[in-house]
Amino acid sequence: MRHNPSHHRRTPGRRLRAVAGAAAAGSLAAAGLVALAAGPATAATWSGSCSAGYVGLTFDDGPTAGNTTNLVSILTSNGATATVFPEGQNVQAHPDLLRAYQQAGLTIGNHTWDHPHMTQLSQSDMSSEISRTQSVIQQTIGSAPQLFRPPYGETSSTLKSVESQYGLREVIWDVDSQDWNGASASAIRSAAGRLTNGQVILMHDWPANTLSALPGIFSDLKSRNLCPGVVSASTGRAVAPSGSSGGGSTGGGGSTGGGSSSGCTVSLTKSGDWSDRFNVTASVSGSSAWTVTLNLGSGQSLQNSWNANVTSSGSTLTATPNGSGNSFGVTLYKNGNSNLPTASCNASGSGGSTGGGSTGGGGSSACTVSLTKANDWSDRFNVSATVSGSSSWTVKVTLGSGQSLQNSWNATVTSSGSTLTATPNGSGNTFGFTLYKNGNGNVPTATCS
């Protein structure tokens, strides 16, 4: 059902959130769940049949210091996936908790910077709310969301137009748990009992009653042969995780691997394993300017990544530094194959992009810039640029034939003909921009001075 915004006003919710966080430990203890907060959860396998389909469990407003760790623990210990819609200001305050979402294999969306009534804003302010949140999430985990949930469920044609500029799919909900309105754990569980195949439920990261309701929700889903799914960026509906086959666990495979060549070495470790997907942690040694190539096994595909710029082409992933150090990770859908991929590492500066490649860049005068294609749509694509060697730089980007600038973030970017000029704006050494293709999806070339 559509959310009635008159029933969900943000100001009382913000006052109650501190109280809810303080009370969370007591409520969890009463529910017998307090032990889950003691440390990282052990990844479990969802044990139920998915013959009746998939539903979308979604959690808004995180990450929160009081509840996020418990939420992640409950989900992972039950082998359940979910979609979270964090606020940008909370990501900025708790980047480690956003990474906890990602490392648990959750799908991460955009819920604006500070939860305003978007339909009451100007178009430029709408864009600012979305773009700032896209940027802080990309900076924190290495990839930008593809899903957007407007606060209060309030939307308009103008807002949808802004969303489309960032390649975002708007996601509302079919069932409102009313957890934001003080609903009891039993009422939240009852609301989830109305879900049917493909539907999405609204819940939140911060209410203790929501955490208390989850074990019962999982039990009820299993009794109805429903499974937690992912929210599709194509349709906004809940679907099976890519490669899922009824929730069953198949495959085996080693837990470590790696490779080396041309001045650097990469080692791979399996760091989390669920019925349909697993995490891989990669550690690079020997160089801080590297390119790691991962060769996926049969059927495997990328869900998300963190701490590196990672692009996918067929069964090959290419990872380059994004300023987060020499360790990064990826989540892979199994599709029956849980073997670790093979990997090789090349120490490199940067190189030009040809033939529609996904990386490019260049260096001169004591700084280097690397360009990576971060998102790709039919008419446009995002480019992430990482500068090394200097904090006072000017990057010149030479666009390909037909390409033009749509927008940019985390740098001051000006356009003149087919040349973009980027300079720092205080947001660090990683910035990005969106280009209209006009038939040309090649990554542009760039120099740094």
**pLDDT value at 124 more than 90:** yes
Question: What class, spelled out in words, does domain 359-448 have in CATH?
Answer: mainly beta
> CB-side exposure of 265: number of CA atoms within 13 Å?
5
Distance spanning both ends of the chain, measured CA to CA: 54
Q: Where in the chain is the domain with CATH 3.20.20.370?
A: 5-239
The answer to whether 68 and 101 are in contact (CB under 8 A) is: yes
pLDDT tens digits, 81-113:
999 999 999 999 999 999 999 988 899 999 999
Instruction: Give the residue carrying structure tokens 């137009």.
Output: 161
Give the amino acid at 169: R
Tell me the backbone φ, ψ of residue 377, rounded to 5 degrees.
-115, 180
pLDDT tens digits, 253-310:
444 555 544 578 888 888 777 777 788 888 888 888 888 898 998 888 887 787 788 8
**pLDDT value at 250 more than 70:** no
Reference 37, options 49, 27, 51, 47; nearest CA is 27
pLDDT band at residue 414 under the 50/70/90 scheme = confident
**What CATH number matches the domain at 256-347, 2.60.40.1180, 2.60.40.290, 3.30.1330.10, 1.20.1250.20?**
2.60.40.290
Please state whether the predicted TM-score (pTM) of the whole model is above 0.85: no
More confident residue, 384 or 159: 159
In angstroms, the CA 276 to CA 292 distance is 24
Reference 342, options 268, 264, 262; nearest CA is 268
Reference 166, options 189, 183, 144; nearest CA is 144
Q: What percent of the chain has pLDDT over 90?
A: 39
- What architecture is the 5-239 domain classified under in CATH? Alpha-Beta Barrel (3.20)
Tokens of 361: 């860049």
Tokens of 428: 């660090």
Of the listed ranges 51-55, 73-77, 413-417, the one predicted with least confidence: 413-417
74-78, 258-262, 432-436 — most confident range: 74-78
Reference 112, options 83, 133, 90; nearest CA is 133
User: Which pLDDT belongs to residue 257?
Assistant: 54
pLDDT tens digits, 134-185:
999 999 988 889 999 999 999 999 999 999 888 899 999 999 999 999 999 9
The answer to whether 411 and 363 are in contact (CB under 8 A) is: no
Q: Where in the chain is the domain with CATH 2.60.40.290?
A: 256-347, 359-448
